[in-house]
Chain A
């Protein structure tokens, strides 16, 4: 137990562990903000994993072709939007089961990325860092938050932008009403399934950015295990956070920190059972949901399809 406290102290005082924690938390947050918007509009969107992976692969391809980060970002967002549009059209136009569509999409994207990576093998390298003066001199967290690639900085405006979109625009009010009570929303003239589709496109955009960030700023090369189930942790963060943006981001920070232990503990010289460290974020996610899922209220129509006159 003493060893545990000591390790915790070492982590809290080591700059590099903040760097890895922030990079994982930011990656999860890219997925979680989009998923939060989609879930507020009533879709439990499990193709987040596929969108992140599609974004990562397309970004690698974009970098291989143009070696421009901006173009890679657009590639990433484009690919994730393609996945999002399949999910949106199939689950909210054709009314196919959203979990089935999401699962099939995840497997399809994983197969496609593995296949195309083997055939094309895009060459990439890690993006350079952009140092923000003054802010990056803050002790401990300065380097982690303000001395990174500009791809990370995208998450800072993205979070308030999503908050504004959902709480301060007409679109957001309509999207939330669609997630709570689609029948009433429909009766007041809101196009329920269109709002839901648009909310999934928002998730596509944030996931495209997240995939690009992961591939070009964190890892620096593409492999098909690059996302490795962490998209699902993003989804769990939204549930853990009780469908509030604040809580979702808090969940991302918590889960991201635990994910980063796998890198930061060995770096500090601690020998820890690898299986426990690897499964810790997943176990913590399950435990977190078990503790909090009952105390919070989900959007009423979450994961229920809307067909006028039937449900």
Chain B
């Protein structure tokens, strides 16, 4: 009797042990690779004569510890998260959009044109400029999507090349006062390449919490993350989009039209990048409500990295966006340590590379185990 009970229990226990083993393996791999990426950056700082301890403490001071800093960090996380959410949508559809930098810049430019030239009550201006910003970003990504489906041009390259074109379009916008350039004001010697400020009424309200200030777009971005997660996981549209991304042939057989779903996904992706530009312009943490040629400050690229690190999960993107925003606000405090602030770019990119390793290793190990089992059975 007892023997049979033990026999019945044995496989379950083995399975539980295996599961615990797998879990510790997963966690261990992730921790190892994150530590590896950070150690690499620390070695780099030490090798060039800096002290990684002071760099780390400066980063923490600048992003969280000093008074009022975590509010700014939240302000930075808002556009990063918005861009990352868009990237998640196109990645789920199996498309590669790596031109968020251009879409963000162009969205911001369109929003700024409306903000400066549209004369109306404040809230109306805000909605008009938001629509213009979203449309600007969406058009820029839509161009690449249209070429992808009509002319078979790989969207990887077009989105990328359009980044360079976007910055030239913006430079053209700054060549005339009819578009972006602010007219020369009294007592100003030379014309600076920037727009007028967004009118008072069209700015996003800011909230003060424990001495930290951030725009209400923070809530909008988090809600957006929940909406994106819900649509992708729980709606028919999201299911069909994911099906297209994982197997185009199956999706086509099931009646999903690749062009329609793909172009929609790219429009959403570009539109969200444009929305990030709107948040940056009206939020107040970037450039004092003005638009300028350097407006995007590489946030398009960083937002893309956020989506990659979050491995296409909207919930994880919220956390990763905050961490990457910490690196951004913290890097402002690096000047005191004498270390070049570009080190944060290195940290971000090596984190992305490091986080690619664990799932790959797990996959390979699982295959090896399966192969070993097969051999035993034979």
Chain A residues with CB under 8 Å of chain B are 44, 46, 86, 90, 94-97, 99-101, 103-105, 107-108, 110-112, 114-116, 118-120, 229, 232-233, 235-236, 239, 273-276, 278-279, 282-283, 285-286, 289-291, 293-294, 303
Q: Which residues of chain B are within 8 angstroms of A112 by Cβ–Cβ distance? A: 44, 346
Whole-angstrom distance between the alpha carbons of A108 and B356 in the complex? 14
Whole-angstrom distance between the alpha carbons of A239 and B153 in the complex? 9
Q: Which residues of chain B are within 8 angstroms of A97 by Cβ–Cβ distance? A: 356
Taking the complex as formed, is B51 at the interface, i.e. its CB lies under 8 A from any CB of chain A? Answer: no
Taking the complex as formed, is B39 at the interface, i.e. its CB lies under 8 A from any CB of chain A? Answer: no
Contact of A115 with B168 in the complex, beta carbons under 8 Å: no
Q: Which residues of chain A are within 8 angstroms of B147 by Cβ–Cβ distance? A: 286, 289-290
Contact of A229 with B163 in the complex, beta carbons under 8 Å: yes
| Known contacts A94-B357, A286-B161; is-contact A118 B342 (Cβ 8 Å) | yes
**Beyond A99-B98, A290-B153, A294-B151, 14 additional pairs, beta carbon < 8 A:** A46-B160, A99-B96, A100-B308, A100-B356, A107-B352, A111-B345, A111-B346, A111-B348, A114-B340, A114-B345, A115-B343, A239-B154, A285-B161, A293-B151
Contact of B153 with A289 in the complex, beta carbons under 8 Å: yes
Whole-angstrom distance between the alpha carbons of A114 and B341 in the complex? 9
A258 CB, min distance to chain B CBs, angstroms:
13
Stretch at the interface among B107-115, B189-197, B255-263, B358-366: B358-366
Interface residue from B169, B345, B360 paired with A107 (Cβ < 8 Å)? B345
Contact of B154 with A104 in the complex, beta carbons under 8 Å: no
Contact of A275 with B168 in the complex, beta carbons under 8 Å: yes
Q: List 18 A-B contacts (CB under 8 A).
A: A86-B353, A90-B353, A90-B356, A94-B357, A99-B96, A101-B353, A107-B301, A111-B344, A112-B44, A115-B44, A115-B343, A115-B345, A115-B346, A119-B49, A229-B160, A236-B161, A275-B169, A286-B158
Contact of A293 with B346 in the complex, beta carbons under 8 Å: no
Whole-angstrom distance between the alpha carbons of A120 and B161 in the complex? 31
B281 CB, min distance to chain A CBs, angstroms:
22
Q: Which residues of chain A are within 8 angstroms of B157 by Cβ–Cβ distance? A: 46, 232, 235-236, 239, 285, 289
Q: Which residues of chain B are within 8 angstroms of A86 by Cβ–Cβ distance? A: 353
Whole-angstrom distance between the alpha carbons of A179 and B349 in the complex? 29
Whole-angstrom distance between the alpha carbons of A119 and B305 in the complex? 25
Taking the complex as formed, is B164 at the interface, i.e. its CB lies under 8 A from any CB of chain A? Answer: yes
- Select from chain A the residue with minimum beta-carbon distance to B301: A107
Q: Which residues of chain A are within 8 angstroms of B308 by Cβ–Cβ distance? A: 100, 103-104
Q: Tell me what chain B mostly uses at the interface: helix, strand, loop, or mixed.
A: helix
| Known contacts A104-B349, A104-B352, A119-B48; is-contact A282 B342 (Cβ 8 Å) | no
Q: Which residues of chain B are within 8 angstroms of A94 by Cβ–Cβ distance? A: 356-357, 360-361, 364
Interface residue from A105, A107, A279, A293 paired with B168 (Cβ < 8 Å)? A279
| Known contacts A286-B158, A290-B153, A293-B153; is-contact A116 B98 (Cβ 8 Å) | no
Whole-angstrom distance between the alpha carbons of A14 and B353 in the complex? 47
Contact of B356 with A282 in the complex, beta carbons under 8 Å: no
Interface residue from A111, A236, A289 paired with B342 (Cβ < 8 Å)? A111
Q: How many residues of B contact A (CB 8 A)?
A: 45
B113 CB, min distance to chain A CBs, angstroms:
16
Taking the complex as formed, is B130 at the interface, i.e. its CB lies under 8 A from any CB of chain A? Answer: no
Taking the complex as formed, is B221 at the interface, i.e. its CB lies under 8 A from any CB of chain A? Answer: no
Closest 10 CB pairs of A and B: A111-B345, A108-B349, A94-B360, A279-B168, A118-B340, A115-B342, A114-B342, A104-B352, A96-B356, A119-B48
Q: Which residues of chain B are within 8 angstroms of A90 by Cβ–Cβ distance? A: 353, 356-357, 360
A277 CB, min distance to chain B CBs, angstroms:
9
Q: Which residues of chain A are within 8 angstroms of B163 by Cβ–Cβ distance? A: 229
Whole-angstrom distance between the alpha carbons of A108 and B345 in the complex? 7
Q: Which residues of chain A are within 8 angstroms of B305 by Cβ–Cβ distance? A: 104, 107
Contact of A103 with B98 in the complex, beta carbons under 8 Å: yes
Q: Which residues of chain A are within 8 angstroms of B348 by Cβ–Cβ distance? A: 107, 111
Q: Which residues of chain B are within 8 angstroms of A44 by Cβ–Cβ distance? A: 154, 156
Contact of A111 with B349 in the complex, beta carbons under 8 Å: yes
Contact of B48 with A116 in the complex, beta carbons under 8 Å: yes
Contact of A278 with B151 in the complex, beta carbons under 8 Å: no
Which residues B168-183 have CB closer than 8 A to chain A?
A: 168-169, 171-172, 175
B324 CB, min distance to chain A CBs, angstroms:
12
Whole-angstrom distance between the alpha carbons of A95 and B304 in the complex? 20
Tell which of B154, B158, B175 has the most Cβ of chain A within 10 Å: B154
B250 CB, min distance to chain A CBs, angstroms:
14
- Select from chain A the residue with minimum beta-carbon distance to B173: A275
Interface residue from A103, A229, A235 paired with B304 (Cβ < 8 Å)? A103
Whole-angstrom distance between the alpha carbons of A223 and B193 in the complex? 24
A97 CB, min distance to chain B CBs, angstroms:
8
| Known contacts A95-B363, A107-B301, A294-B151; is-contact A282 B340 (Cβ 8 Å) | no
Whole-angstrom distance between the alpha carbons of A232 and B160 in the complex? 8
Q: Which residues of chain A are within 8 angstroms of B168 by Cβ–Cβ distance? A: 275-276, 278-279
Whole-angstrom distance between the alpha carbons of A285 and B161 in the complex? 8
Taking the complex as formed, is B264 at the interface, i.e. its CB lies under 8 A from any CB of chain A? Answer: no
B226 CB, min distance to chain A CBs, angstroms:
25
- Select from chain B the residue with minimum beta-carbon distance to A273: B172
Taking the complex as formed, is B162 at the interface, i.e. its CB lies under 8 A from any CB of chain A? Answer: yes
B264 CB, min distance to chain A CBs, angstroms:
21
Q: Mark B265-301, 1 if CB is under 8 A from A, else 0.
A: 0000000000000000000000000000000000001
Contact of B152 with A294 in the complex, beta carbons under 8 Å: yes
Contact of A99 with B156 in the complex, beta carbons under 8 Å: yes
